[in-house]
Amino acid sequence: MHSNHVYNLMNQLTIEHKSLWRIKKHYLEDAGDCADCRAFWEKMEKDKEEHIKDLTELIKSHLS
């Protein structure tokens, strides 16, 4: 069993992955021709990818 701290990191990783999936599969398409909204979702997509990378590294460091 992992500590609550590691569980929190893993839970947040799951949340970030789900959010990224929604952005890629729905939100960008739903933004249609609105350049401002598409730019926002594209920025959010990059932010989520970075959060996922950072969380993955943190989790790895706690599990090794």
Contact 23, 46 (CB under 8 A): no
Give the model confidence (pLDDT) of 7-62 as tens digits: 999 999 999 999 999 999 999 999 999 999 999 999 999 999 999 999 999 999 99
pLDDT at 64: 86
Within 10 Å of residue 26's Cβ, how many Cβ atoms?
11
pLDDT for the residue numbered 62? 93
pLDDT score at 1: 61
CA atoms within 13 A on the CB side of 41: 19
Q: Where are the alpha helices (DSSP H) in 1-64?
A: 4-22, 28-30, 35-63
Residues in the chain: 64
- The whole-number pLDDT of residue 45 equals 98
